[in-house]
Amino acid sequence: MRSKILGLAGGMMLALPMTAQADMLETVKSAGIIKCGVSDDLPGFSFLNDKGAWTGFDVDYCKAFSAAVFGTGDKVKFTPIAFNQSFTALQSGEVDVLSRSVTYTISRDTQLKVNFTPPNFYTGQSFMTHKELGAKSVKDLDGAAICVLAGSVTERYIADYFRANNIKFKPIAIEQTSQVQSVYESGRCDAMSHETPSLAIARSRFKNPDAHVILPEVIAKSYEAPLVREGDDRWNDIIRWTHFALVTAEELGITQKNVEEKLKSSDPVVRTFLGVDGDIGEKMGLANNWTVNVIKAVGNYGEIYNRHLGSDSSLKIERGMNDLYERGGLLYAPSWR
């Protein structure tokens, strides 16, 4: 009898993780929509266009998650979130996934009960200042007033860098990303600090972009990724492998335009990736052709990047670190087996 009880208890313990893993996916399916948290106003990444529709790099990731789960990219409720409310919104269940500019750090990953998925954007922190100040280097900003996003890792990076270089500064903490830019442009701050692409985006929107200069130093690396809550491995896997699907599609040369044709491929790697062969999707709780749905909805990683940030956008930010490893970048996806 004792062995039967122990066996039953062991079985229950083994069953518990399976139940927990199914919760988020089943909750999302039942709701018929994914609640996706995005930046409040960050051109190129997530913003409302002139038609009142959400658009941007992070927005397309939300659409990709929707396509993976529902087969279509339009089952998304976009929730704009100020940076200092990001983790609370995810932890409380206000959003199911966070797809906005959030830097991966050890304290956030180990202390906030959230899981970062693989990086979908690599960048670094630098400074922009008014050209009239004549600053050529960060070290020329001694005593400057610097606009920073309240509660962000950016604020701590500045403090650490300035302390290490014996430079003084006056932090001007701002609550929302869009306000940081407007306060800086108004002249209340001598400089603002953010990831280099974000500074380029902000400068492009100023009344006189040529009146501002981005200084050459990059004082901290930034590894950004979508986030989910801890405790649900299956949901984590779906968000994680949606990113890998976007990268793999680019590696294999699969695009929005040719994905239907690629379904006829005899290449076993392509056939497995697109769900023609095997049952990977089914075992994840998705349709076997979920990667096809993702690519139809948003294209591959390169298409998303070029559309919102790169060659096909007004920003013209080069891929750099965000290119495939075979072209000198850092993007790499595990094998699809």
Q: What is the pLDDT of residues 78-110, one digit of tens each?
A: 999 988 899 999 999 999 999 987 888 899 999
| Helices H / strands E in the chain, number of each | 13, 13
C-alpha–C-alpha distance, residues 152 and 101, integer Å: 11
Q: Report the pLDDT value the prediction gives residue 318, as an integer from 0 to 100.
A: 82
Phi then psi for 218, rounded to 5 degrees?
A: -115, 110
Reported as a single tens digit per residue, the pLDDT across 232-244 is 999 999 999 999 9
**pTM of full prediction above 0.85:** no
Top-confidence residue, 183 or 151? 183
C-alpha–C-alpha distance, residues 306 and 309, integer Å: 5
pLDDT at 256 over 80: yes
CA 305, chain centre distance (Å): 12
* 29-33, 150-154, 181-185, 213-217: range with lowest mean pLDDT: 150-154
